[in-house]
Amino acid sequence: MDTMLPLVFVVLMALAMLIYVVLDGYDLGVGLLLRGADDAGKDRMIASIGPFWDANETWLVLGVGLLLVAFPLAHGLILTALYLPVAAMLIGLILRGVAFDFRVKAHAEHKPLWNTAFWLGSLLASLAQGWMLGSYVLGFRDDAIGLAFSALIALCLCAGYALLGACWLLMKTEGALRAQAAAWAYRALWFTGLGIAAVSLATPYASPRIFAKWFVLPNLFLLAPIPLLTAGVFLFCESSLRRIRRGVEGRDGLPFAAAVLLFVLAFAGLAYSLFPYLVADRMTYVEAAAATGSLKFILVGALLTLPMILAYTVFVYRVFWGRSEDLSYE
């Protein structure tokens, strides 16, 4: 089989999932932080993600769709092992969607119920995604170590999403809510760092092959810039948030950019560790790929769909950029 075509789909799938984690990550994070604000703050928080959150989930559909059609064997193995957390994630995303629409239209006495439902849906989806990541990194281990690690990564990914969401609010809100978002982001940053460190240490532990890719000479020196850069970005984000909390005027977008870069670096490190396997040490992307003729046919659809999604995403963010206003359906 031609290995170039499956590799193209690996890149497209990885790109879709990375964009999803960043974009839907911040609006899931806003949902996780919702309970910490007053009623007026909750409205402004929802307004800050109103034009974007639904479109952000398109990237999840694209990524999972590419996994299904381009790598059906891996899709079957991964989704079978992660059936319950996937179901929990979908329930959470559905609950978020229902709550988002009903909270604006509900009577005042029912609004707290839909606020809680939106928070609960965000929490359930975030925990499920973190659990899936932890289980995937350790090759779907179901012993005590595997379950404990999955639970830890579930909590840390929630912190990562909260970091993205709080940094997003720094750019989109003003006044007391902005100050509150800076405090949220500072606390979430440390738990996010814990999650990145846990994945970085557990991945080589889970596989001698991955250990050799990172720690056997000369790779140890060649790859050292990745963890060093990650640590540098972490410290820059911490410093930026500390200055904002002290009231020092600066660019509110810097913490969000740093948080996104943390996710990108962590994703790049994990991708390097796992490649060429889609399932750690069990199935490579070539072994999992569909027939060449099928991939060529699917590629045409992907090359038509991906630019349209990118163009729409850029258009929406350009139109609705800036400080958010009150959300209204009128």
Tokens read off for 45: 């928080």
Residue 325 lies in a domain: no
- Quick check: bond before 276 cis, omega within 30? yes
Residue 76 lies in a domain: yes
Residue 242 lies in a domain: yes
Residue 312 lies in a domain: yes
Q: What is the pLDDT along the chain (330 residues), one digit of tens a residue?
A: 567 888 999 999 999 999 999 988 999 999 999 988 888 888 888 888 877 877 788 888 888 888 888 898 888 888 888 999 999 999 999 999 888 888 877 777 788 888 899 999 999 999 999 999 989 988 888 888 889 889 989 999 999 999 999 999 988 888 888 889 999 999 999 999 988 888 888 888 878 888 888 888 888 888 888 889 999 999 999 988 888 888 766 677 889 999 999 999 999 988 888 888 888 888 888 888 888 888 888 888 888 888 888 888 888 888 777 666 555 545
Q: 105-117 burial, b for 16+ CB within 10 Å, e for fewer?
A: eeeeeebeebbeb
Structural domain count, the chain = 1
Residue 328 lies in a domain: no
Q: Which residues pair with 277 in a beta bridge?
A: 284
pLDDT at 120: 94
Residue 153 lies in a domain: yes
Domain of residue 47 covers: 4-319
Asked whether the beta carbons of 30 and 62 are under 8 A apart, the reply is no
State how far the Cα of 313 lies from the Cα of 56, in Å rounded to an integer. 8
Residue 35 lies in a domain: yes
Residue 326 lies in a domain: no
Cα dihedral sign, 114-115-116-121? positive
pLDDT at 216: 83
Half-sphere exposure of 210 (CA within 13 A, CB side): 25
State how far the Cα of 313 lies from the Cα of 159, in Å rounded to an integer. 25
